[in-house]
Structure 1
Amino acid sequence: MNGEVDRRGLLKLAGGSLAALGLTAAGCGGGSGSGDGTVTIRYAWWGSDDRAKRINRTIELFEKKYPKIKVKTDFQPYLDFWKKFNTQASGGNPPDVFQNAIGFLRKYDQRGVLLDLNAQAEAGNLRMDGFRAGLEKFGEVDGKLLGVPVGSNSMALVIDKPVYEKAGVTPKTGWTWDDFHEAMEKIRKQGRAGDSGLYGVMYLYDPYLRQQGKAFFTKDGLGFDEADLKEWWTKGYAGVKSGIYADPKKVAQIKPKSAVAAEIAASEFTWDNFTVRYTAEGKSEYGLAPIPTTDGKKTGQYLGSLMLSGSKRTQHPKEVAQFIDFMVHDPEVAKIMGYDRGVPTTTAQYEAYKPAEEKDKVIASVNKEIAAYEEQLVEAGVLETITPHPAGADVCEAAFLRIAEELALGERSVDEAVKQFFTECKTALGS
């Protein structure tokens, strides 16, 4: 949606040891069957050790309910996951079911990798009712059901509360980008950069464009032009030079720790469900603030989501559908996963998990704030529909983050950065 925060730093943070958890790496070939009718499906995802532990507990529950379905697991850090998945997909050997994101739906659908789950929904193996805020539509592309969301999130501004309070800054719904800039100046006078550097966060630039009737992506390509990006990056670079945004060299030095937790910056834009990261890394108290607006009304936000997709080559589409159904509807799964992958997308799971019941009171407090933030977005009616990204969007996102960082470090001028991004992105999108 993720780079959000500092994506590469977050991806390092999300890495984990497969062997340490005793997980079974996915083998070659599709899902298998046995003489007694038992079938095996392969399930792959990206994330941290903690996510892996939680997911494996949910798999134990699934296998108890469906004793004839066994699940082989494989998890990797984000970048490693997609490298491995791309190799498997190219070789005709993707996992039967896997974690997915909107930036990859069209890409792998065009390659004939993704299973259209509509037939399984019609057969009753996958329930597509009971979802919150229209999220059941999130994985639909051109009439095909290519993914089922497991957790929702939206962009937010994570703030160091004591620093904001000391600077006399109180972000409120409807505050403008001018208000935000003024807040950054006030915080800088307190001896800390206001923000870690928003210029490379694609999933923030997208709402900013939407506030002006545009978007980062259309279904066919980019939804903005070079003049739009020049304005964004000119402001971003000026913020770095003035000190209201953190020194990118310092931000790089403390990776994978976040600039906010390292007390280099007082805030940064990221997905709301990442808030727990700051609590785990830092010593301060952190909270969620609304996205600034252009006109005081339109935020350009939408609910994003991780999702589960199936392989078109799976030998067991029914079992894949039953697995996905269990993971998005079973209340006990929600109690185990919490908000690790975002706020549960189905009403049954949303109501089953109570943040206050977390043993860790700090995490309980953070999760309660995440839920309240999303509830406020839904009630305010500001949420829009995200357009499924075109094939090659993942390459554009990586280029956006990398080139923005080069710009901030002074390795490229604004004009050079803009030209380089559009050159790389047009190649990736085939336009």
Structure 2
Amino acid sequence: MRTQGTVDRRSLLKVAGSSLAALGLTAAGCGTGSGSGDGTVTIRYTWWGSDDRAKRINRSIALFEKKFPKIKVKTDFQPYADFWKKFNTQASGGNAPDVFQNAIGFLRKYDAKNVLLDLREQAEAGNLRLDGFRAGLEKFGEVDGRLLGIPVGSNSMALVVDQAVFTQAGVTPKPGWTWDEYHAALARIQQSQGRAGDAGPYGIMYLYDLYLRQQGKAFFTTSGLGFTEADLTDWWTKAYERVRSGVYADPKKTIQAKPKSAVTAGLAGSEFTWDNFAVRYTAEGKSTYGLAPIPTTDGRKTGQYLGSLMLSASKRTEHPKEVAQFIDFMVHDPEVGRIMGYDRGVPATEAQFQAYVPTDEVGKQIAAYEKQLVESRVLEPITPHPAGADVCEAAFLRLAEEMSLGERPVADAVKQYFTEAKTALSS
């Protein structure tokens, strides 16, 4: 689930991984798993992420191999963009890894390419537990009745704020605040603190989806876009005006500040991103950062849902039982929960959620934020993501940036977006 005028999407997609050798990893070989004469089988597991995620995952795998000595796991990881480039090549050649980290925007895409294993049969055989998940997350990986992914963690969109800036401006966001109140707060920050109120939310596909959902629409339907050119024209026209007024940060300065975010670079007081990304601000900036609620249209409906990374399996795997046992272990084992923490979001299962209790202030805020979302009953089913959603997201970010920089008029950016999106969704 990039994802921007935030810890921006492009920067996140370029999180670097170290050499496999430095971490004691074995590069994925050919074929979808292998076996040996003594009954030991080997499965391949790949993911995207940072060096820290790799270390945590490999500690978890060591526990798995100790419990299941007849199953060995070969590993490989890449930065986000490189991962999907390599995975697409592997999948196209019939050589997808046995197990891999996945996201909602890719389920229908690779289901349509006949890549994903329906895990329902393994669940029914007792090799994969579907109970014990938080807030209905067990259904997160379902597509048309097939179980194509198992969630490993949850997150939701939030507004990350520089707490000192908001306090000095006398702004206290509360659940149910409206978009008008949000923009009034940004103007107050600009006037009193001499910086933009927000980095600029106009290129964040998942935030625009929430805005649309608040109005009974959505970014996607099961087969295409769920909004009109007039809708997007209104969104980007107002955004362009706010960039020019200084309520949203100067996009040129935001780009120059990378890899820092506009908030930690002192250019803006807030920006929208996934709640579990909040840990990055503390590591990157010098202020104190917190999570604020999503603004609403009517004072109640946020349009939010719990998103999640997930584990999927290859339809060509020679070891579906062992793959299911591995996935089950990675999402249910309490010790894995303690090892992974909130690296992939708040743990998806109750067992891992209870096993890891954050002691740091940011972790506590993330847990409290999602607890409030569940208890306030604002969460809804996730918007369907058709095949091509990943291409739509990249185009939305790119064209929004060009619009904000004045390189494309709003009308031209909107028309170009619909052209590119319709092509992606029909291919």
Task: Tell me the TM-score normalized by structure 2.
Answer: 0.98
Q: Matches of 2:174 and 2:135 in 1, distance apart?
A: 23
Amino acid corresponding to residue 243 of structure 2 in structure 1: V
- Which residue in 1 is equivalent to 2:335? 332
- Which residue in 2 is equivalent to 1:359? none
Residues 108-161 of structure 1 show CA distances to partners (whole Å, capped at 9, x for unaligned) of 001000000000000000000011100000000001000000000000000000
- Which residue in 2 is equivalent to 1:269? 272
SS state at 2:308 partner: strand
- Which residue in 2 is equivalent to 1:54? 56
- Which residue in 1 is equivalent to 2:321? 318
SS state at 1:103 partner: helix
SS state at 2:57 partner: helix
Moved more, 9-18 or 59-68: 9-18
SS state at 2:273 partner: strand
- Which residue in 2 is equivalent to 1:425? 421
- Which residue in 2 is equivalent to 1:372? 368
SS state at 1:295 partner: coil
| Match 1:351 to one of 328, 351, 354 | 354
Matched, 1:298 2:311: no
Amino acid corresponding to residue 182 of structure 1 in structure 2: A
Matched, 1:341 2:344: yes
Residues 307-328 of structure 1 show CA distances to partners (whole Å, capped at 9, x for unaligned) of 0000000000001000000001
- Which residue in 1 is equivalent to 2:385? 389
Q: Check the 8 A contact 2:200/2:248 in 1, yes or no.
A: yes
SS state at 2:27 partner: coil
- Which residue in 2 is equivalent to 1:360? none
Amino acid corresponding to residue 318 of structure 1 in structure 2: K
Q: Check the 8 A contact 1:3/1:401 in 2, yes or no.
A: no
| Match 2:11 to one of 9, 12, 28 | 9
- Which residue in 1 is equivalent to 2:245? 242
- Which residue in 2 is equivalent to 1:180? 182
SS state at 2:184 partner: helix
Q: Check the 8 A contact 2:134/2:350 in 1, yes or no.
A: yes
- Which residue in 2 is equivalent to 1:403? 399
Mapping for residues 31-430 of structure 1, pairs under 5 Å = 31-189=33-191, 190-356=193-359, 364-430=360-426
Q: Matches of 1:387 and 1:266 in 2, distance apart?
A: 29
The Cα shift of 1:15 comes to 4.2
The Cα shift of 1:14 comes to 5.1
Q: Check the 8 A contact 2:108/2:386 in 1, yes or no.
A: yes
The Cα shift of 1:27 comes to 1.2
The Cα shift of 1:23 comes to 1.5
Moved more, 3-12 or 189-198: 3-12
Q: Matches of 1:16 and 1:408 in 2, distance apart?
A: 34
SS state at 1:355 partner: coil
The Cα shift of 1:20 comes to 2.8
Q: Matches of 2:19 and 2:49 in 1, distance apart?
A: 11
The Cα shift of 1:10 comes to 1.8
Root-mean-square deviation over aligned CA pairs? 1.0
Amino acid corresponding to residue 410 of structure 2 in structure 1: V
Amino acid corresponding to residue 346 of structure 1 in structure 2: T
- Which residue in 2 is equivalent to 1:361? none
The Cα shift of 1:235 comes to 1.2
Amino acid corresponding to residue 319 of structure 1 in structure 2: E
SS state at 2:76 partner: strand
Q: Matches of 1:284 and 1:18 in 2, distance apart?
A: 34
Q: Check the 8 A contact 2:220/2:383 in 1, yes or no.
A: yes
Runs of 4+ in 1 over 6 A off after TM superposition: none
Q: Matches of 1:180 and 1:81 in 2, distance apart?
A: 37
Q: Check the 8 A contact 2:17/2:77 in 1, yes or no.
A: no
SS state at 1:200 partner: coil
Residues 324-349 of structure 1 show CA distances to partners (whole Å, capped at 9, x for unaligned) of 00001000000000000000011111
Identity of aligned residues (%): 79
**Alpha carbons of structure 1 residues 385 and 417: separation in structure 2 relative to 1, 3 Å:** same
Q: Matches of 1:230 and 1:20 in 2, distance apart?
A: 49
Q: Check the 8 A contact 1:17/1:49 in 2, yes or no.
A: no
Q: Matches of 2:229 and 2:199 in 1, distance apart?
A: 24
Q: Check the 8 A contact 1:12/1:256 in 2, yes or no.
A: no
Q: Matches of 2:47 and 2:384 in 1, distance apart?
A: 20
Q: Matches of 1:301 and 1:402 in 2, distance apart?
A: 24
SS state at 2:100 partner: strand
Q: Matches of 2:320 and 2:261 in 1, distance apart?
A: 41
Amino acid corresponding to residue 374 of structure 1 in structure 2: E
Structure 2: runs of 5+ lacking an equivalent: none
Q: Matches of 1:390 and 1:207 in 2, distance apart?
A: 17
SS state at 2:45 partner: strand
Residues 157-207 of structure 1 show CA distances to partners (whole Å, capped at 9, x for unaligned) of 000000000111110011000001101101111111111110000010000
Q: Matches of 1:14 and 1:379 in 2, distance apart?
A: 37
Q: Matched residue pairs, number?
A: 424
Q: Matches of 1:14 and 1:209 in 2, distance apart?
A: 33
Q: Matches of 1:107 and 1:242 in 2, distance apart?
A: 40
